[in-house]
Amino acid sequence: MSTKIIVTDNYLWTNEHNNVKKQVLHRYQISNNTATQWKDGLKGIQEMIADVRSRSERLRSYGGKWSLSDVAICNDSIHDSKPLTYYGPVGKKSIIGKPLYKDAKPLEKRLFYFQSGAQINQINRALEDRGNCLATTGASNGQTIAGAISTGTHGSALKIGAMQDYVRALHIVTSENEHIIVQPATNPIINKGFSDIFGAKLINDDKLYLSTLVSFGSFGVIHGIILETVSLYMLETYSSRVDYKLVEQVFPYLSTFDHTSSTNLTKFLKQIGLPSEEDPYHLDIIANPYGAANNAFLRVMFKRAYDKSKLSPEPDGSSTRVGDDILSIIGSLAETTDLVVSPIVNTLFGSVAEVQSGYTQTPRNIFGDSIIYKPKKGSASTELGVPIAKASDAVKLTMKIAKKANFAGLIGIRFVKNSAATLAFTRFPPLTCTIELPGLNSSNTQNFYQQVFNGMDNKGIPFTLHWGQQGDFSPVRLASMYGSAVETWVQARKVILPDPIQRYMFTNDFLKRCGISESASLSGGAEIV
C-alpha cells in the first residue's frame, strides 16, 4: 500500500454539529505527494477501494462533516477526503463547451479542476487570489466541495441555483481498476484529451451526469470536480428588521419570477425602503415564530463589480456577520431552555446579524466562518424545499406549528433557482423556497419536524428535504418528493456501477432507509401448498 495512506482502526466519527456519531472499522486518509500533484491521491483511492473490497466492506467518502444526518457515513470503512487538496486551471485546448454564465473573462480563465477535499474557505481564498470566485455557496464555508455538491448545498442567489449547478464534470473512482469523468452530452465541457491525462474513461451522458451530481457518495469516490467559476464580485448588503406581514408581500413577486428579467422585485424593494433599481443577487429572510412585531429579518445583497477601493473592512470573526449561518446562531442557545423557549428565541432573534446598510465585501467575507457550538445533545436541523407558489402558505403553516410545538429555533427562508440534477431538493421551477428549521436536538424538535411534514401533507403542499439535514427519508416519502426521478437515479447508478459488489460497497444505512440501496428484492414464488 502507498505510504501516503494512513488507516486508523476503530475510529469514532462525529459530525461537526455533534448529533451523529458512528464507531467505524477503518478510516482512510490519503494524501498527495506535492511533486506528483494529484497522482498519488488518485492512486491512493484506487488502492483503498481494493483494500476495502478485499474485506467485503462498505466504503463512504466524507468531507467537512457538515451534514446533520448519517448521509455521508457508513459503519465499515470511511474516507476522509480533506487531505486531497490539489487544484489547477483547465487548459484552453481541453475545453470544448460553452460557458454557463456571461462573464467578462473567457471560460479558460474561469474553469478549474478541484480535488474533492478542497474546503470552501480554501477555494474562496485560492479563487480570490486569481480574481475569481464561486457563483454561490452556502451560508458557511466549512464544507468540502464534493460534500457540498453531493448533498445539494445552496445559498439564496436567485438566478444561480445550488452549488451543483455550476459543476461541469465529475471525476469519480468507481473501482480499483476504473475511474470516470462524467459530463453532460449537451454542452460537454472537456475533450477526451483531458480525461486521458488522468487515465479516466470519459462519459458524455445527460441522465448519468445529472444523477451523479447529487448522489451523496453513492456512485463511488469523487476524486475531482470541474467547476465553472465567475469573475470576482462584491456583494453590497442591506438588512432590516420588519414585520413578517410586510416581508411576506415578496411571495407574489417571487411566484412569477422571470430569470431573464432584472426587475422582478423592484416594486417590493421600494415598498420596504431598500435600493430598488434592480433585482438583488441574493435575498433571504429569518423569521421569529414568537415575535408579533419586527419578527422578520430581511437581507438583500446586490452584485457589484469588484473594486478594492469600495470594500468595507473585513469582518473580525467575532462579530455576527450579515451572511451568518442560522444554525450557528441557534447553537448559542443554552441547553436548558425547554421551559423558557419563547423569551429565549426572542432574545436570540435580537442578536441575529446587525442591521446593515451598504456593507460591501467579497462573497468569501460575506459567507465566511460559522462558530459551531456543540451542545451535548447536538444541534438539529431540517430543511424543506417547496414550490415558490406554495411558499407563503408553507411558511405560515410552519410558523403556526413552531409556536404551538414550542420549537426552540428560528426559521430561515431562502430562494433558489431550480436545479436540473435528478435528486436536487431545489427542483421546483422557477424558484424553490427553502425553509430551514435549525434548533437544538431534542425529542421536542424532532416531533416538531414531523408535525411540519404532516401539516404540509394535510394542506397538499408538495415538498422535498435537504439531503444533508434531518427528516423523513423513507421510500414512501422519497416517492412523493421525487416521483420517477428516484428510479432514474437508481438505474443511472446501475450503469455507473454495473457490478452488484460495487453498489454494495457504496451503500450505507441512509441509502437503505431511503430504499435505494443495493439489496436483493423479494422474489414471489408459486403458491405454497
Partner 1 sequence: MIVKIQRKNQVLWIVLIMYCIAFAGCSSVHVTANQASKADDTYEKTVWALWWGASDPVESVDCNGNGLQFVTMKTNWIYSLCTFVTLGAVVPVDIEYRCTSEPLHGGDIIGEIRGVKP
Other CB atoms within a 10 A radius of the CB of residue 522 amount to 6
Size of the site for partner 1 (CB under 8 A): 49
Retrieve residue 418's grid coordinates.
431550480
Q: Is 89 in the site for partner 1 (CB under 8 A)?
A: yes
Retrieve residue 166's grid coordinates.
455550476
- Which of the ranges 114-122, 248-256, 304-312, 384-392 carries the binding residues for partner 1, by CB under 8 A? 114-122
Other CB atoms within a 10 A radius of the CB of residue 500 amount to 12
Q: What is the closest distance, in whole angstroms, from the C-beta atom of residue 115 to partner 1 in the complex?
A: 9
- Which of the ranges 83-91, 246-254, 292-300, 491-499 carries the binding residues for partner 1, by CB under 8 A? 83-91
Retrieve residue 406's grid coordinates.
414550542
Nearer to partner 1, 123 or 213 (CB): 123
Q: Is 46 in the site for partner 1 (CB under 8 A)?
A: no
CA distances, 175 to each of 67, 147, 153, 213 (Å): 25, 20, 27, 18
Other CB atoms within a 10 A radius of the CB of residue 511 amount to 24
357-361 and 230-231 beta bridge pairing: unpaired
- Counted residue by residue, the chain has a size of 529
Nearest 5°: CA angle at 483, between 180 and 394? 115
Q: Is 323 in the site for partner 1 (CB under 8 A)?
A: no
Q: Is 113 in the site for partner 1 (CB under 8 A)?
A: yes
Q: Is 31 in the site for partner 1 (CB under 8 A)?
A: yes
Q: Is 343 in the site for partner 1 (CB under 8 A)?
A: no
Q: Which residues contact 132 (CB under 8 A, 6 or more apart)?
A: 105, 109, 110, 112, 229, 230, 231, 232
Tell me if 264 sits within 8 A of 249, measured CB to CB: no
Retrieve residue 237's grid coordinates.
448588503
Retrieve residue 443's grid coordinates.
425529542
Q: What is the closest distance, in whole angstroms, from the C-beta atom of residue 140 to partner 1 in the complex?
A: 11
- Which of the ranges 42-50, 112-120, 146-154, 233-241 carries the binding residues for partner 1, by CB under 8 A? 112-120
Quote the CA–CA distance of 11 and 52 in Å, as a whole number. Answer: 15
Nearer to partner 1, 73 or 481 (CB): 73
Quote the CA–CA distance of 60 and 511 in Å, as a whole number. Answer: 11
Cell numbers 424543506 correspond to: 384
Nearer to partner 1, 276 or 320 (CB): 320
DSSP type of residue 141: S
Q: What is the closest distance, in whole angstroms, from the C-beta atom of residue 347 to partner 1 in the complex?
A: 16
> For the chain, how far is it from start to end, CA to CA, in angstroms?
56
Quote the CA–CA distance of 296 and 414 in Å, as a whole number. Answer: 13
- Which of the ranges 124-132, 213-221, 272-280, 286-294 carries the binding residues for partner 1, by CB under 8 A? 124-132
Nearer to partner 1, 310 or 374 (CB): 374
Binding mask 354-383 for partner 1 (x = CB under 8 A): ----------x---xx-x------------
Q: Which of residues 261-300 bind partner 1 (CB under 8 A)?
A: none
Q: What is the closest distance, in whole angstroms, from the C-beta atom of residue 89 to partner 1 in the complex?
A: 5
Q: What is the closest distance, in whole angstroms, from the C-beta atom of residue 92 to partner 1 in the complex?
A: 7
Q: Is 312 in the site for partner 1 (CB under 8 A)?
A: no
- Which of the ranges 118-126, 448-456, 458-466, 471-479 carries the binding residues for partner 1, by CB under 8 A? 118-126
* Residue of 19, 32, 116, 419 interacting with partner 1 (CB under 8 A): 32
Helix axes 443-459, 391-404, angle to 10 degrees: 140
Q: Is 141 in the site for partner 1 (CB under 8 A)?
A: yes
Q: What is the closest distance, in whole angstroms, from the C-beta atom of residue 30 to partner 1 in the complex?
A: 11
Nearer to partner 1, 314 or 457 (CB): 314
Q: Is 155 in the site for partner 1 (CB under 8 A)?
A: no
Q: What is the closest distance, in whole angstroms, from the C-beta atom of residue 12 to partner 1 in the complex?
A: 10
Q: Is 196 in the site for partner 1 (CB under 8 A)?
A: yes
Q: Is 190 in the site for partner 1 (CB under 8 A)?
A: yes
Quote the CA–CA distance of 72 and 57 in Å, as a whole number. Answer: 16
The secondary structure element, H or E, covering residue 487 is helix 485-496
Quote the CA–CA distance of 209 and 196 in Å, as a whole number. Answer: 19
Q: What is the closest distance, in whole angstroms, from the C-beta atom of residue 78 to partner 1 in the complex?
A: 10
Nearer to partner 1, 77 or 124 (CB): 124
Cell numbers 460495487 correspond to: 502
Cell numbers 427562508 correspond to: 413
Closest of 188, 187, 134 to residue 161, by C-alpha: 134
- Which of the ranges 115-123, 246-254, 342-350, 473-481 carries the binding residues for partner 1, by CB under 8 A? 115-123
Phi, psi dihedral angles at 11 (to 5 degrees): -95, 130
Q: Is 404 in the site for partner 1 (CB under 8 A)?
A: no
* Residue of 3, 308, 309, 317 interacting with partner 1 (CB under 8 A): 317
- Is the N-terminal amide bond of 430 cis, ω within 30° of 0? yes
Q: Is 126 in the site for partner 1 (CB under 8 A)?
A: yes
- Which of the ranges 189-197, 241-249, 350-358, 473-481 carries the binding residues for partner 1, by CB under 8 A? 189-197
* Residue of 46, 61, 116, 121 interacting with partner 1 (CB under 8 A): 121
Quote the CA–CA distance of 145 and 359 in Å, as a whole number. Answer: 27
Binding site for partner 1 (CB under 8 A): 27, 29, 31-32, 34, 37-38, 64-65, 80, 82-83, 85-94, 96, 113, 117-119, 121-126, 141-142, 190-194, 196-197, 317, 334, 336, 364, 368-369, 371
